[in-house]
Chains A and B, each alone.
Chain A
Amino acid sequence: MTAAEHGHGGGMPRRDFLIVATGTVAVVGAAAAVWPLVDSMNPASDTLALASTEVDLGPIAEGQSITVQWRGKPVFIRHRTANEIKEARAIDAATLPDPMRDEARAPNAKWLVLVGVCTHLGCIPLGQKTAEPKGEFGGWFCPCHGSHYDTSGRIRKGPAPANLEVPKYTFLTDTKVRIG
């Protein structure tokens, strides 16, 4: 074989190289052309802009819960009783399915803020109203597939894989919180 048949570099004939190179460029180009179609289905800018909600905690009595909407999702805000706080903090977090200490979930122990979406398949758990079932651990109960959450919103029993999510929030004053 002569150098001419192999092109300059040696191993690959020039024609094969050109075919592979052209094909690669075509595949990359096609992928680049598809990306805008795919990405257009992601949350749009105005959807992303609805990022924070402010809530006045003043009217919420001890033992009461309210539901507010944040990014279209329900957020549970619970003014916990001393008993509920005690229950949530007494348990050894390491023994839980998704270990997390209550102190980390609710730095201000009175106020528990949770995304009210079951981590199994997205239903809204019951337990916000006094008449609703609160599950075996006094927190929330998801009626869709039977997940039980405790007074810290941690998964205790049922198919859900994780605790109820704690959204990012900051206390603006003692009775005002911004979620998001």
Chain B
Amino acid sequence: MSEMQLKNPMLRWIEYRLPIFSFIDHSVGSQYPAPKNLSYWWNFGSLAGIALVMQIATGIVLAMHYTPHADMAFDSVERIMREVNYGWLLRYFHANGASLFFLVVYIHIFRGLYYGSYKYPRELLWWLGLVIFVLMMATAFMGYVLPWGQMSYWAATVITNLFSAIPWIGVGITEWLWGGFTVGNPTLARFYSLHYLLPFVIVGVVFLHLWALHQHKSNNPLGIDIKGPQDTIPFHPYYTYKDLVGLGVFLLVMFGFVFYHPNYMGHPDNYIPANPLQTPAHIVPEWYFLPFYAILRAIPSKLGGVIAMAASILVLFLIPWLDTSRVRSTKFRPVYRWFFVFLVIDVILLGIVGAKPPEGIWILIGRLATLYYFLHFIIFMPFLGWFERPLPVPDSIHQPVLGAAAGAAAAGENKR
């Protein structure tokens, strides 16, 4: 590490004993080189990190006012809404924050899919991201149960019952998850405990994710490697400020929901206290689970549906090997580009199907969309990689900007 020039003697005193300032500078500062061509699609990683911090901050304060007991949870949430100073703000921020956190992460995942960010040498980086995604789903689900309204209760029942599909041990697993014979007070208490724990586990995996990221640096819209210093700019101030612009837009959307449509993404039934003897007429998960819910329901068998839903996430772990293309960025893949568009449409369609009752035409659409989802990854990805002829890829990141001559000169410099 290069020596840091710190003017403040106090900071110099600390840096000599604990080189934390140079560590930060090398991680997200002027000493961290990032590709100079990153677009706004690269904002969503740091935005996800900020969303996580905001969820933890609001969550810790909400936990000070919440009571994790089946008889008191619902009322304690209403008390947060009506009596606690700014309680309404904190709770609406936390609830809508979860939704927008998923939106940001979905954009982040699709950006990775488009630009081939899962390909060599970033396979582990991709896997760690998927682990974070799965942990996020568990955390969001358990958080949704805490208000102990009708949707909370029945979401908990339906999701934990997924495990009962496992042959032989399924029922034992569900009773172990519940701590009883149905979802009840023991279930609420443990979900609260885990809902508090898992975000910090996510923070840990985020550190591993960043560690893997910094090993080979960010991918970029061209999907080609960094060939030298002429291809990079310092993370700070260039991308720190660009990320702040993105944060401003994110907060505009967030407060648009919080102040004007705080319950837009929720369900009115969750303002009815949990009733173990009455299932609401139409139960649907939060929007961010709808595509997976549609896949679950597409298979006309309990175990089959659960397996398909699990497979829809597990298949993402395999794509570093399922994608056989030699180029990373879909920018240079004229055929695959269309299939990427079809995949996005397919996932949105699955989301729409997941929100509809499983009747009539929606059953058929759900099955076809589920089939297409798996065809994309298992058939189209490997075969297009073999048969598609990619467009010519630039030699370096700075070449399209500075011209071929500068590119050749720089390349010569590198070969030295």
Q: Which residues of B contact A117 (CB under 8 A)?
A: 182
Find out whether the CB atom of A72 lies under 8 angstroms from the CB atom of B181. yes
Question: Considering the complex of A and B, which 5 residue pairs feature the smallest CB-CB distances, nearest first?
Answer: A122-B161, A71-B181, A121-B161, A72-B182, A123-B279
A43 to B358, CA, bound (A): 34
Given that A41-B190, A43-B175 are known contacts, is A144 also in contact with B302, CB under 8 Å in the complex?
no
A120 to B297, CA, bound (A): 11
Of A38, A47, A122, which one neighbours B158 at CB under 8 angstroms? A122
Find out whether the CB atom of A123 lies under 8 angstroms from the CB atom of B276. no
A71 to B302, CA, bound (A): 24
Q: A74-B277, A121-B161 are in contact. List 19 more A-B contacts (CB 8 A).
A: A41-B176, A41-B177, A44-B179, A67-B277, A69-B276, A71-B182, A72-B180, A73-B182, A73-B276, A121-B164, A122-B160, A123-B154, A123-B158, A124-B277, A124-B279, A144-B154, A144-B283, A145-B297, A159-B300
Question: Using a Cβ–Cβ cut-off of 8 Å, how many residues does chain B contribute to the interface with A?
Answer: 35
Measured CB to CB, the closest approach of chain A to B163, in angstroms, equals 10
Main secondary structure of the interface of A (DSSP, over half): loop
Tally of contacts, chain A with chain B, CB under 8 A: 83
Q: Which residues of B contact A67 (CB under 8 A)?
A: 277
Find out whether the CB atom of A42 lies under 8 angstroms from the CB atom of B181. no
Interface string of A117-144 (1 = CB under 8 A from B): 1001111100000000000000000111
Interface string of A29-51 (1 = CB under 8 A from B): 00000000010011110010000
Is B76 an interface residue, CB under 8 A from the partner? no
Find out whether the CB atom of A43 lies under 8 angstroms from the CB atom of B279. no
Q: Which residues of A contact B176 (CB under 8 A)?
A: 38, 41-42
Is B186 an interface residue, CB under 8 A from the partner? yes
Q: Which residues of A contact B300 (CB under 8 A)?
A: 159
Find out whether the CB atom of B181 lies under 8 angstroms from the CB atom of A41. no
Question: Using a Cβ–Cβ cut-off of 8 Å, how many residues does chain A contribute to the interface with B?
Answer: 26
Given that A67-B277, A143-B279, A143-B282 are known contacts, is A159 also in contact with B157, CB under 8 Å in the complex?
no
Interface centre among B279, B283, B297, B359 (most CB of A within 10 A): B279
Q: Which residues of B contact A144 (CB under 8 A)?
A: 154, 158, 279, 283
Interface centre among A71, A74, A159 (most CB of B within 10 A): A159
Name B278-303 residues within 8 Å CB distance of A. Answer: 278-279, 281-283, 297, 300-303
Is A160 an interface residue, CB under 8 A from the partner? yes
Name A16-70 residues within 8 Å CB distance of B. Answer: 38, 41-44, 47, 67, 69
Given that A122-B158, A123-B157, A123-B158 are known contacts, is A42 also in contact with B175, CB under 8 Å in the complex?
yes
Is A13 an interface residue, CB under 8 A from the partner? no
Binding site for A on B (CB under 8 A): 154, 157-158, 160-162, 164-165, 175-182, 184, 186, 190, 276-279, 281-283, 297, 300-303, 305, 357-359
Of B157, B190, B281, B301, which one neighbours A122 at CB under 8 angstroms? B157
Q: Which residues of B contact A38 (CB under 8 A)?
A: 176
A115 to B14, CA, bound (A): 66
Of B181, B305, B357, which one neighbours A159 at CB under 8 angstroms? B305
Binding site for B on A (CB under 8 A): 38, 41-44, 47, 67, 69, 71-74, 117, 120-124, 142-146, 159-161
A72 to B179, CA, bound (A): 12
Q: Name the CB-closest residue of B to A142.
A: B279
Q: Which residues of A contact B161 (CB under 8 A)?
A: 120-122
Find out whether the CB atom of B182 lies under 8 angstroms from the CB atom of A161. no
Of A73, A121, A160, which one neighbours B181 at CB under 8 angstroms? A73
Q: Name the CB-closest residue of B to A40.
A: B179
Find out whether the CB atom of A69 lies under 8 angstroms from the CB atom of B277. yes
